[in-house]
Amino acid sequence: MGATALLQIVIVWLSGSVALLADTMHNLGHLATTIPLIIAFRLGRRVPTRRYNYGLRRAEDLVGLLIGAVIALSAALIVWESVRALTTQRELTHLGWVLAAAIVGAAGNELVARYRIRAGRRIGSAALIAEGQHARTDALTSLAVVLGVIGAWLGLPWVDPVIGLFIAAVIVVVLVGSMRTVVRRLMDGIEPGTLDSVEETAAAVPGVVSVGCARARWTGHRLEVDLDIAVDSTLTVETAHGIAHAVEDGLRGHVPHLQQATIHLTPAPTPTPPRTTPLMH
156 or 235: which carries more pLDDT confidence?
Answer: 235
Average pLDDT over residues 65-81: 77
Q: What is the 3-state secondary structure (H, E, C) of 96-141?
A: HHHHHHHHHHHHHHHHHHHHHHHHHHHHCCHHHHHHHHHHHHHHHH
pLDDT at 278 over 60: no
Average pLDDT over residues 267-275: 70
Q: Which of 127-131, 255-259, 268-272, 274-278 has the highest mean pLDDT?
A: 255-259
pLDDT at 276 over 60: no
* Percentage of residues of the chain with pLDDT beyond 90: 20
Gap between the Cα atoms of 94 and 156, Å rounded? 16
Gap between the Cα atoms of 186 and 58, Å rounded? 8
Over the stretch 187-210, which tens digit does the pLDDT of each residue have? Answer: 888 888 899 999 999 999 999 999
Over the stretch 145-155, which tens digit does the pLDDT of each residue have? Answer: 777 777 777 77
H-helix or E-strand spanning residue 214: strand 210-219
Average pLDDT over residues 82-106: 72
The Cβ of residue 209 has, within 10 Å, a number of other Cβ atoms equal to: 15
Per-residue confidence (pLDDT) for residue 266, from 0 to 100 = 92
277 or 146: which carries more pLDDT confidence?
Answer: 146
Helices 159-186 and 126-153, packing angle to 10 deg: 170
Q: What is the Cα Rg of the chain in Å?
A: 27
pTM over 0.75: no
Over the stretch 167-192, which tens digit does the pLDDT of each residue have? Answer: 778 778 877 877 787 888 888 888 88
